[in-house]
């Protein structure tokens, strides 16, 4: 019944979502939550039909040589040159090869984390995945500090590090990366044109400062494969958000996946405002057609998977 019922529930998950806050729809039981190991295995197997996260999580050195020209994944008419720096930072083998974990945390960036007290719990997981180089130190009590794998859209350079205009922006960035030690820094560099100079600056800083961080750059097929998996299961997402991408990849490596910081709604279940990000004042129009994502729909799907024991979603306080 497994595969069929998964697909059936996912159909229901594409129902319209209340625009007020999404609240009561998403009440989910925390005490009664129990992992459904056979469903976890089945989801892993089904996703493997579309992608192998171990491989697709990064291109490797032997995929390219310096000077190669590739087409952007979401903007096929435009091209990118594989520079010498970029090539030198490609991993020899997948940074996730043969890595398996009992429990993992995937940490989204919603303001719902503020005052959650979830830091300790997040850090207690064997492997912690974070998104977009989100700051942690100042928010440690709520978000923890452990970061084994962290993503970085090229636009982060502009949004959080002043476009590297000043020496102090560059220093702040180098400091942030040095805190990661030898964790994986995952940079979607081949998605759309626009961020190539940022990626080059980042690469140059990593090389110049001999940072230990292990760079990874998603394969050219990853995003289409992830989207294909969800669409085939009748979850009509647009471009998968980083958070959904991370959950999808984590199913390959992690037996138990715990999600925190996923709450793509402007209010909490009591009607109290929730910031888009726990660390800045950026605004986001969750239901706008202009958005590249359908985060509320993604959330509804993840919530359904929580209720079925495939993953654990935490949107409240950690005790
Ligand atoms: N997220 C969420 N609710 C929020 C903010 C973020 O559920 N209020 C989740 C999303 O899955 C998102 C992830 O946390 O992809 C990381 O957040 P962020 O860095 O803000 O992602 P974006 O830059 O908005 O989007 P993306 O990188 O996915 O394009």
200-245: pLDDT as tens digits: 999 999 999 999 999 999 999 999 999 999 999 999 999 999 999 9
Q: Note the helical H segments in the chain.
A: 2-12, 37-48, 53-56, 84-89, 119-123, 140-143, 156-160, 167-178, 196-208, 222-232, 242-253, 295-307
For ligand 1, mutation pick of 133, 160, 242, 306 (most atoms within 8 Å of CB): 242
Q: Which residue has the tokens 């083998």?
A: 93
Specify the residue with its C-alpha closest to ligand 1, atom 29: 241
Beta carbons within 8 Å of 68's beta carbon, 6+ residues apart? 81, 82
- Residue 238 pLDDT: 92
The verdict on the CB of residue 151 being under 6 Å from ligand 1 is no
For ligand 1, mutation pick of 106, 109, 194, 239 (most atoms within 8 Å of CB): 109
How far is the centre of ligand 1, averaged over its atoms, from the C-alpha of 109 (Å)? Answer: 6
Average pLDDT, the chain: 92
Specify the residue with its C-alpha closest to ligand 1, atom 10: 243
134-169: pLDDT as tens digits: 999 999 999 999 999 999 999 999 999 999 999 999
- Residue 319 pLDDT: 83
How far is the centre of ligand 1, averaged over its atoms, from the C-alpha of 291 (Å)? Answer: 12
The verdict on the CB of residue 215 being under 6 Å from ligand 1 is no
186-200: pLDDT as tens digits: 999 999 998 899 999
- Residue 73 vs residues 82, 138, 181, 218, 280: alpha-carbon distances, Å: 14, 35, 30, 10, 29
How far is the centre of ligand 1, averaged over its atoms, from the C-alpha of 64 (Å)? Answer: 30
Secondary structure tally for the chain: helices H, strands E? 12, 9
Report percent pLDDT > 70 for the chain: 90
- Residue 32 pLDDT: 85
Q: Which atom of ligand 1 is nearest to the CA of 282?
A: 20
In terms of phi and psi (left: phi > 0; alpha: psi -120 to 50; beta: otherwise), the region of 133 is left
* 99's tokens: 């890595």
Q: Which residue has the tokens 């090539």?
A: 87
27-64: pLDDT as tens digits: 666 678 999 999 999 999 999 999 999 999 999 999 99
CA pair distance 204, 210, nearest whole angstrom: 10
Q: Is 216 exposed, middle or buried (0-12, 13-18, 19+ CB in 10 A)?
A: buried
CA pair distance 77, 71, nearest whole angstrom: 7
Do residues 109 and 132 lie in contact, with contact meaning Cβ atoms separated by under 8 Å?
yes
Q: Is the pLDDT assigned to residue 21 strictly greater than 60?
A: no
How far is the centre of ligand 1, averaged over its atoms, from the C-alpha of 84 (Å)? Answer: 31
> Positive or negative CA dihedral for 205, 243, 106, 127?
negative
85-100: pLDDT as tens digits: 999 999 999 999 999 9
The verdict on the CB of residue 301 being under 6 Å from ligand 1 is no
How far is the centre of ligand 1, averaged over its atoms, from the C-alpha of 130 (Å)? Answer: 10
Q: Is the pLDDT assigned to residue 7 strictly greater than 80?
A: no
In terms of phi and psi (left: phi > 0; alpha: psi -120 to 50; beta: otherwise), the region of 34 is beta
- Residue 13 pLDDT: 43
The verdict on the CB of residue 264 being under 6 Å from ligand 1 is yes
Do residues 261 and 113 lie in contact, with contact meaning Cβ atoms separated by under 8 Å?
yes
Dmax (CA) for the chain in angstroms is 59
The verdict on the CB of residue 131 being under 6 Å from ligand 1 is yes
CA-CA-CA-CA dihedral for 129, 165, 80, 77, to nearest 10? 100
- Residue 5 pLDDT: 47
Do residues 124 and 235 lie in contact, with contact meaning Cβ atoms separated by under 8 Å?
no
- Residue 74 vs residues 189, 238, 245, 274, 284: alpha-carbon distances, Å: 11, 12, 15, 31, 22
Q: Is the pLDDT assigned to residue 15 strictly greater than 70?
A: no
Q: Is the pLDDT assigned to residue 12 strictly greater than 70?
A: no
If we measure between CA atoms, which residue out of 206, 156, 202, 212 comes closest to residue 180? 212
How far is the centre of ligand 1, averaged over its atoms, from the C-alpha of 277 (Å)? Answer: 8
């Amino acid at each position: 019944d497994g595969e069929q019922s998964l697909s059936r529930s996912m159909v229901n998950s594409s129902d319209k979502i209340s625009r007020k806050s999404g609240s009561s729809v998403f009440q989910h039981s925390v005490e009664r939550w129990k992992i459904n190991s056979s469903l976890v295995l089945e989801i892993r197997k089904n996703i493997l039909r579309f992608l192998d996260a171990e491989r697709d999580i990064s291109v490797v050195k032997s995929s390219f040589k310096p000077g190669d020209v590739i087409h952007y994944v979401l903007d096929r008419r435009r091209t990118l040159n594989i520079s010498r720096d970029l090539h030198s930072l490609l991993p020899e083998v997948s940074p996730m090869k043969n890595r398996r974990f009992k429990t993992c945390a995937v940490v989204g960036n919603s303001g719902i984390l503020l005052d959650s007290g979830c830091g300790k719990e997040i850090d207690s997981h064997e492997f912690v995945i974070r998104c977009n180089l989100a700051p942690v130190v100042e928010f440690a009590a709520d978000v923890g500090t452990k970061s084994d794998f962290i993503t970085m859209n090229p636009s982060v350079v502009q949004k959080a590090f002043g476009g590297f205009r000043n020496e102090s922006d560059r220093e702040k960035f180098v400091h942030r990366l040095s805190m990661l030690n030898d964790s994986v820094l995952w940079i979607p560099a081949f998605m759309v044109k626009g961020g190539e100079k940022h990626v080059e600056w980042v690469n140059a800083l990593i090389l110049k400062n001999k940072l230990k961080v292990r760079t990874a750059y998603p394969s050219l097929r990853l995003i289409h494969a992830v989207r294909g998996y969800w669409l085939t299961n009748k979850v009509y997402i647009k471009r998968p958000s980083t958070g959904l991408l991370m959950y999808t990849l984590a199913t390959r490596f992690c037996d138990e996946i715990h999600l925190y910081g996923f709450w793509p709604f402007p209010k909490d279940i009591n009607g109290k405002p929730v910031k888009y990000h726990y660390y800045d004042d950026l605004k986001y129009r969750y239901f706008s057609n202009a958005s590249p994502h359908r985060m509320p729909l993604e959330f509804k799907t993840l919530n359904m998977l929580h209720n079925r024991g495939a993953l654990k979603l935490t949107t409240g306080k950690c005790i």
